[in-house]
Structures are given as structure tokens and as C-alpha cells.
Amino acid sequence: MFLPAGEKQFEFWVLSRNGLPNINIAKHFGVSRQAVSRALLSMDKRIEETLLEMARANRIEVEKLDSKKGILFGRSIPFKANAIIFVSAKHGMQVWYEHEGECGSCERYRECIELLWDFAEEMQLKLQSTEDPTKLADELFGKLKELVEQA
């Protein structure tokens, strides 16, 4: 399922996820509050369907899903590892598996660090500075799990 990253509905959803009230989103875009509410209901459904589709495709057993935050926690059946699927406004749909990596020697080191810091910023979470993507991911996803459980 495709997420419309450049469409107004998706922009509404990102702003709502960041805590902006519907009335403010409506004023910003010059639309009615009801139009924003309808768009958010539609996007929440699309986000949920997309997260579930990604879980099925990656053989991840769902444990917790929050469509308003765009996060799914689960367990990878083939890898026997915890997994998280999340929607990043900057990076799109992402799947991350809990693992101990050899990050210092990995050619994707910079990409992982950037993804994690960007998503933490999108979710307005402060993290301890570390150069180890595995530790950064553990901290980020731990905080996200707390956030989802509070909702």
C-alpha cells in the first residue's frame, strides 16, 4: 500500500502526530476542521493497513500497533527478533530489527544514524548522544514503546 507523502492528507497526519490540533491544521491549509478530521480518519486507516501489510510481508507477528503515531511493534518469525515498523515523514515506511551489529565496520552506518536521529526528531524525542546505531535504536524504540503504551 502506498503512503501519499506529498499529499495534504499525509501532511495533516504528520502535523497531527506532532500534536497540532485539527483546528490549527485547518487554519494553516484554509480548509474546514471537518475536512481535516475526515482526512485524518482516512489516513489513520491507510497507515494501519500499510503497517499491517508490511508486517505480513516481513513475517512480523504484531504485538502493538498505533496508527496515529505510525508505529507497529512486533516479533520477526524468521529472525526471532523484536521488530518495529514505522512511518517517517522523511524516510517513508521503515522496518528495523533488534540486533547487535558491527556498526563501526558497516557501510550503512551513516544511513542508520541519520534515519534514527531524523525519526527521533520527528517524534520529538530527546536521545543520549551515541555513535552506536544499535544503542541509539534501543533507546529510541524503548521511548517509542513507552509513548505508544501511554496512548
Q: Each residue of 74-104: pLDDT tens digit? A: 999 999 999 999 999 999 999 999 988 788 8
Take residue 39 and report the three cell numbers written for it.
482526512
Q: What is the DSSP letter of 149?
A: H
Distance CA 20, CA 9 (A): 14
Q: Is the pLDDT of residue 120 over 50?
A: yes
* Total number of domains constituting the chain: 1
**Has residue 13 been placed in a domain?**
yes
**Has residue 133 been placed in a domain?**
yes
**Has residue 1 been placed in a domain?**
no
**Has residue 3 been placed in a domain?**
no
pTM value is 0.92
Q: What is the DSSP letter of 100?
A: -
Residue range(s) defining the domain that contains residue 39: 8-150
For residue 1, name the pLDDT band (cuts at 50, 70, 90): very low
Q: Each residue of 19-70: pLDDT tens digit? A: 999 999 999 999 999 999 999 999 999 999 999 999 999 999 999 999 999 9
**Has residue 131 been placed in a domain?**
yes
**Has residue 18 been placed in a domain?**
yes
